[in-house]
């Protein structure tokens, strides 16, 4: 069964599951993935701060986890 993320998924949980997902966050300008504050944010919160449509990131992450 593939791991599935949504707008409420915590970034730290995603990175703990598979750190290879980190480049998807880097693409939106989220470069401090080791920061405790960023690890505790949801996808929706991070995208709001970085001015990105959360659905685009969610789709990329779900495609990554579906591989």
What average pLDDT score do residues 53-62 get?
A: 95
How confident is residue 54, by pLDDT bands cut at 50, 70 and 90?
very high
**C-alpha closest to that of 38 among 21, 15, 20:** 15
What pLDDT score does 3 carry? 82
Looking at the 3D structure of the chain, how many domains does it have?
1
> Is pLDDT at 59 greater than 90 in this prediction?
yes
The verdict on residue 1 lying in a domain is: no
The verdict on residue 16 lying in a domain is: yes
The verdict on residue 57 lying in a domain is: yes
Structural domain boundaries, residue 29: 11-66
Taking only the tens place, the pLDDT of each residue in 12-47 is 999 999 999 999 998 888 877 777 888 899 999 989
The verdict on residue 6 lying in a domain is: no
Give helix 43-50 / helix 54-66 axis angle, nearest 10°.
Answer: 130
User: Is the pTM of the predicted complex or chain greater than 0.75?
Assistant: yes
The verdict on residue 5 lying in a domain is: no
């Amino acid at each position: 069964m593939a791991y599935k993320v949504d707008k409420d998924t915590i970034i730290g949980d995603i990175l703990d599951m598979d750190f290879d997902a980190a480049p998807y966050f880097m693409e939106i300008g989220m470069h401090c993935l080791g920061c405790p504050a960023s690890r505790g944010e949801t996808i929706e919160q991070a995208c709001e701060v970085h001015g990105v449509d959360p659905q685009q990131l969610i789709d990329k992450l779900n495609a990554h986890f579906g591989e």
